[in-house]
Amino acid sequence: MKVNIYYGGRGVLDDPTLYVIQKMETVLEELRVEVRRYNIYEDKNMISTLPQTLKDVDGIILATTVEWLGIGGYMNQFLDACWLYGNRQQIASIYMQPVVMSTTYGEREGILTLENAWEILGGLPCSGLCGYVDDLVSFEMNQEYAHIIEKKAENLYRTISQKSKGLPTSNQAVTRTVQRTKQPDLTPQESEQLSQYVSNDSYVKKQREDIEELSRMFRGMMGEDTEAKNSEYQMDFPSHFAPKKGFKARYLFMISGKKKPLFLGIDGDEIDCHYGQEDNIDVHIKVSGETMEKLVLGKMTFQRAFSVGEMSAKGDFHTMRMLDELFTFAK
């Protein structure tokens, strides 16, 4: 029989959880159980690979200390790694006994958190141990407490040996629902390899650099695309300009989708076409981007667009009608 102990505390000398798991470890070894302890705080840079240590184990002990609120970050990270990279088929046959000691408040909530998490992962929970410790020395000297701890270790041994089963719980129904959510479609071997990549700082750093470079390239492409859109139609009008001697006019096109209006200034054979607000406008024109596209491609005249209501104009209508003579889009 193999049992792993995962300690999620900070490893301080006065941590009562350390005393409890040392006591349980001794009892299990006397029962000829192969026991291995993992201090998560020592492997904090490799937490994502810890689910690999669940291979071929019959049971585990999740032990942590509530020092001010909840089960602590190290244990949470380990459970997250089990969800992301753990082999669900292996977890389904592993018994878990939670051990939560508190120096403040919340040991019962902590043990419930571990039980719920393990059941949602698909594992098998075992009756746990929790307690509040005000004075560590008094706690260690109390023989009744030591007897309770030993009995809990023996209970884990019996539960695993007898393959004890429990009644169905709502957490099992939640597990079926949660596991229907989209998960990476990876084999256990691929999940294991991914966890190794995640724990490799140099690999993660290189991936981040690659992502940043791709982001810069994408922003650059978006910038070029935006620049092209901002200069749209500026070359269409000058390239199709048919000047009328002595004619002067100032047009302002409000095109849907454009942040700035398109200004068109005519002075004899000179033309000024740019985006921006201008004063002393003779004709204000409001048009959609789709209709503007038809106009510059010669698929529709300005007069027809105005007549059918696809373009609205305000100002001198004789000047507006001159657009079809000034620009040879339809010819």
Locate tokens 């009608």: which residue?
Answer: 321
- Reading the block at residue 224, the tokens are 């070029």
For residue 18, the tally of other CB atoms under 10 A from its CB is 20
| CA–CA separation, 92 and 112 (whole Å) | 19
Looking at domain 2-199, its CATH superfamily turns out to be Flavodoxin domain (3.40.50.360)
Mean predicted confidence (pLDDT) in 107-136: 94
Global pTM?
Answer: 0.59
Per-residue pLDDT tens digits for 42-94: 988 889 899 999 999 999 999 999 998 899 899 999 999 999 888 888 999 99
- Reading the block at residue 237, the tokens are 């009008």
Per-residue pLDDT tens digits for 90-111: 999 999 999 999 999 999 999 9
Check: CB of residue 153 under 8 Å from CB of residue 23: yes
Pure H helices in the chain: 16-30, 73-85, 88-91, 107-120, 136-141, 143-162, 170-178, 188-199, 201-230, 236-239, 289-296, 302-307, 317-321, 323-326
Cα separation values, 254 from 23, 24, 233, Å: 80, 79, 13
- What is the CATH number that goes with domain 236-326? 3.30.1050.10
| CA–CA separation, 55 and 52 (whole Å) | 6
- Reading the block at residue 300, the tokens are 């529709």
CA atoms within 13 A of residue 83's CA, in its CB half-sphere? 18
